[in-house]
């Protein structure tokens, strides 16, 4: 039966799990347990013993950020477990190992990622991550391609969609918080007042923007292209200089691939545009910002290279039947079609990326990239530049034909 676990409960609970107890080592009474969750939804405990540590995540029956007035199904823990185990098969080594799952308690026990930190915190501190592009593009290319119609049969794909179909309450959060609320008056919306009042009001009247966000919302609702993480911001990524782990896939479902790729790019663009608000030396700032924009470019180009490589070598799905593309002419035509596919995916990525930026500045849930900028006026300048860039990316997505056009626009935005 579900109950919210407190320290003493958790100690007894973990002591009864032989594999976990062995990993922690020593007497259960000696284990240190602290609740460290700083996300919007759940409890997260770090438990350490003489031999090692574990992380324990427990879903609350409500949205932690708001409180009990906003109930949320515990079943998200089931979908998180399902996604983590699926992603571990598709992209080995890039998600934490799951040690134990209890459906009734909505609880997942995972390996403790140490000395990893949440990537967003590292970015706010101006840290660069040399492995990030390679790891995140492997994660994206493999999880997206290998769960798509390009890689699996129609029957397998439909089973996959069905397995995640019940996660609709989490999808509804995204549908409201990302695709609807920032563009209308909603009590829970927040922004840096009074400087962003005019932009927020303009966005509520901007019909070009409303059409663009509605098209993206429709795609989010009706494009089950692949098993997506569903919340792949830099707070869902843990890093060291030599390792990257993607965590927290509780929003996972079969949706549009561009939503995940766009999330990564959006969060890097926000780190870039927030950078001038954080205290760092001019040299450190230049180096950090150059790395972030290189990373945006690498995230897309390496993703494309890896995705296409998988398509050329692992296309076991029912889409694009090989019998229709025989001979040299067929192979050439299929290769051209792959480029068309990637161009369409790029447009989706640009649009979703824009939507992710706007929601973090005008919606309910913000990010520390901007929130930790001490001077509110400075913060508002960084946010206004981001909003203007995001509006252009969403309304004129087609004018961004390459990732270089996106990074150029981000660079130009620094002069606004």
Cβ partners under 8 Å of residue 19, min gap 6: 99, 100
Question: What does the DSSP 8-state code read for residue 245?
Answer: E
- Gap between the terminal Cα atoms of the chain: 55
3-state secondary structure 166-210: CCHHHHHHHHHHCCCHHHCCCCCCCCCCCCCHHHHHHHHHCHHHH
Asked if residue 183 lies in contact with residue 387, where contact means CB atoms within 8 angstroms, the answer is no
Residue nearer to ligand SR1 on the CB measure, 53 or 73: 73
Please report where in the chains the tokens 């029956």 appear, as a residue: 61
What does the alpha-carbon distance between residue 415 and residue 409 come to, in Å, rounded to a whole number? 10
Interface with ligand SR1 (CB under 6 A), residue from 264, 365, 384, 395: 365
Rounded to 5 degrees, what are φ and ψ at 239?
-140, 155
The Cα–Cα gap between 349 and 401 comes to 11
Minimum distance from residue 40 beta carbon to ligand SR1 (Å): 4
Site for ligand SR1 in 171-200 (CB under 6 A): 173-174, 177
Torsion sign (Cα): 78, 179, 215, 385: negative
- Of residues 4-43, which lie at the interface with Mg ion (CB under 5 A)? 39
CB-nearer residue toward ligand SR1: 274 or 365: 365
Q: Is 65 in the site for ligand SR1 (CB under 6 A)?
A: yes
Please identify, using beta-carbon distances, which residue of 62 and 341 lies nearer to ligand SR1: 62
Considering only residues 127-156, where is the footprint of Mg ion by CB under 5 A? none
- Take residue 191 and report the two structure tokens written for it: 């922004």
Among Mg ion, ligand SR1, none, what does residue 225 contact (CB within 5–8 Å per kind)?
none
**With respect to ligand SR1, which residue has the nearer C-beta, 51 or 65?**
65
Which of 80, 149, 225, 231 is close enough to bind ligand SR1 by CB under 6 A? Answer: 231
104 binds ligand SR1, rule: CB under 6 A: no
Of residues 225 and 248, the one with the C-beta less far from Mg ion: 248
Among 7, 25, 28, 40, indicate the residue that binds ligand SR1 (CB under 6 A).
40
* Tokens representing residue 8 in the block: 């003493």
Considering CB distances under 5 to 8 angstroms, the limit depending on partner class, which of Mg ion, ligand SR1, none binds residue 317?
A: none
Q: How far is CA 372 from CA 37, 184, 353, 382, in A?
A: 18, 26, 22, 12
Q: Which residue is nearest to Mg ion (CB)?
A: 248
Is residue 94 at the binding interface for ligand SR1, with CB under 6 A as the rule? no
Angle at 160 between CA 158 and CA 161, to 5 degrees: 65
- Please, what is the minimum distance in Å from the beta carbon of residue 195 to Mg ion? 28
Span of 123-131, 244-252, 371-379, 383-391 interacting with Mg ion by CB under 5 A = 244-252
- Min separation Cβ 235 and Mg ion, Å: 6
User: Which residues of this protein are in contact with ligand SR1, per CB under 6 A?
Assistant: 40-41, 63, 65, 173-174, 177, 231, 365
User: Which residues of this protein are in contact with Mg ion, per CB under 5 A?
Assistant: 39, 248
């Amino acid at each position: 039966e579900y109950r919210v676990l407190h320290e003493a409960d958790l100690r007894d609970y973990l002591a009864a799990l032989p594999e976990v107890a062995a990993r922690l080592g020593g007497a259960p009474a000696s284990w240190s347990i602290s609740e460290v969750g700083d996300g919007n939804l759940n409890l997260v405990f770090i438990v350490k013993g003489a031999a090692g540590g574990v992380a324990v995540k427990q879903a609350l029956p409500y949205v932690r950020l708001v409180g009990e007035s906003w109930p949320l199904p515990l079943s998200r823990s089931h979908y998180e477990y399902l996604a983590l185990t699926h992603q571990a098969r598709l992209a080995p080594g890039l998600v934490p190992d799951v040690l134990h799952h209890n459906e009734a308690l909505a609880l997942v026990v995972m390996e403790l990622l140490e000395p990893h930190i949440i990537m967003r915190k590292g970015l706010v501190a101006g840290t660069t991550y040399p492995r990030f592009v390679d790891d995140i593009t492997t994660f994206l290319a493999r999880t997206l391609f290998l769960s798509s119609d390009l890689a699996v049969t129609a029957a397998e794909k439909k089973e996959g969609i069905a397995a995640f179909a019940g996660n609709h309450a989490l999808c509804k959060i995204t549908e409201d918080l990302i695709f609807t609320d920032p563009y209308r008056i909603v009590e829970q919306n927040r922004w840096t007042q009074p400087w962003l009042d005019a932009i927020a009001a303009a966005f509520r009247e901007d019909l070009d923007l409303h059409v663009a966000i509605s098209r993206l919302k429709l795609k989010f609702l009706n494009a089950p292209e692949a098993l997506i993480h569903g919340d792949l911001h830099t707070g869902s990524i843990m890093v060291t200089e030599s390792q990257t782990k993607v965590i927290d896939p509780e929003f996972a479902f079969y949706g549009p691939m561009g939503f995940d790729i766009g999330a990564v790019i959006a969060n890097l663009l926000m780190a870039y545009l927030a950078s001038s608000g954080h205290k760092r030396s001019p040299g450190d700032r230049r180096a950090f910002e150059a790395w972030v924009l290189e990373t945006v470019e690498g995230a897309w180009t390496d993703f494309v290279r890896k995705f296409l490589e998988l398509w050329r070598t692992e296309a076991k799905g029912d889409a694009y039947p090989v019998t229709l593309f025989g001979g040299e002419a067929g192979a050439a035509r299929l290769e051209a079609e792959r480029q068309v596919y990637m161009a369409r995916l790029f447009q989706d990525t640009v649009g979703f990326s824009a939507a992710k930026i706007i929601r973090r500045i005008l919606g309910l849930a913000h990010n520390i990239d901007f929130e930790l900028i001490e001077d509110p006026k400075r913060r508002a300048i960084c946010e206004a530049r981001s909003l203007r860039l995001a509006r252009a990316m969403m309304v004129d997505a087609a004018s961004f034909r390459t990732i270089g056009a996106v990074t150029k626009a981000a660079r130009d935005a620094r002069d606004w």
